[in-house]
A and B are shown apart, each in its own frame.
Chain A
């Protein structure tokens, strides 16, 4: 599938609570309709970012996926700003 990613936030090597806090900061800078990609190595970010998006007005979590990059598990999140 193809997704129009406007901005990518790299929070690899950062643990809870940093991925959510930095996601919030990058999300604020988006315009309506834009999508943020967050790349994390923190497995807890899967539930943390899902919970954050669920509670945040104007944030819609499009997809979350796990991948392996250079032998590391990475967790990718796609959040769109709806308004």
Chain B
């Protein structure tokens, strides 16, 4: 019976209980403030997965990445499979255009399949790029790195294609894989597969 009288639900809060509640309120307030700062976080992020290594397909990811960086975005471009060619210092200077299977080419597929045709259409494209003051792939890589874009080379594809980490431009991140790319995509506002 003596315990019942001490735990009277109608009784006013004891000093200890009040202090406990105040602590709880403090905890909740700081938790809310933390969540609000996360929601209002102004830092935006974009992740591009670049999988293609032809001359024409090297441009969209690099142009978008460098532009997004100018907009204040934190940008990661994860290069995998033929996308690695863009970051390969030697190969990036010799990216080619495929004349087969490209209906925008001025020659029919049957002709496009002849030896030397890719070389010819690539030369045409390079001339057009130069004539139109469009930056080269190397320039765009340079400007992207300078703007803080994280250009990543998928480690699995580096091994698969028999490349060496030293083959890539200085500043390229290696030793990364699908899991780190996915984690970055989770945090990103924009995710693109090119």
Residues of chain A having any CB pair with chain B under 8 Å = 13-18, 20-21, 23-24, 41-42, 52, 55-57
Q: Is B133 an interface residue (CB 8 A)?
A: yes
7 contacts between A and B (CB under 8 A): A13-B133, A16-B134, A17-B66, A17-B135, A18-B135, A55-B72, A56-B71
Instruction: With A14-B133, A15-B134, A15-B135 as known contacts, state yes or no: A23 contacts B143, CB within 8 Å.
Output: no
Return the chain A residue nearest B63 by Cβ: A17
Q: Which residues of B contact A16 (CB under 8 A)?
A: 63, 134
Q: By CB atoms of chain B within 10 A, which of A13, A17, A20, A52 has the most? A: A17
Complex Cα gap A16–B134 (Å): 7
Instruction: With A52-B71, A55-B71 as known contacts, state yes or no: A15 contacts B66, CB within 8 Å.
Output: no
Complex Cα gap A24–B72 (Å): 9
Q: By CB atoms of chain A within 10 A, which of B63, B69, B70, B135 has the most? A: B70
Q: How far is the CB of A2 from chain B (nearest CB, A)?
A: 29
Residues of chain B having any CB pair with chain A under 8 Å = 63, 66-67, 69-72, 132-135, 143, 147
Q: Which residues of B contact A20 (CB under 8 A)?
A: 67, 70
Cross-chain contact of A21 among B72, B132, B134, B143 (Cβ < 8 A) = B143
Q: By CB atoms of chain B within 10 A, which of A21, A52, A56 has the most? A: A21
Return the chain A residue nearest B44 by Cβ: A55
Q: Which residues of A contact B134 (CB under 8 A)?
A: 15-16
Pair A17/B70 contact, Cβ less than 8 Å: yes
Instruction: With A24-B70, A52-B71 as known contacts, state yes or no: A41 contacts B143, CB within 8 Å.
Output: no
Pair A21/B67 contact, Cβ less than 8 Å: yes
Return the chain A residue nearest B64 by Cβ: A17
Pair A52/B133 contact, Cβ less than 8 Å: no
Q: Which residues of B contact A57 (CB under 8 A)?
A: 72
Pair B133/A21 contact, Cβ less than 8 Å: no
Complex Cα gap A81–B71 (Å): 15
Complex Cα gap A56–B70 (Å): 9
Complex Cα gap A17–B59 (Å): 10
Q: Which residues of B contact A21 (CB under 8 A)?
A: 66-67, 69-70, 143, 147
Complex Cα gap A74–B81 (Å): 41
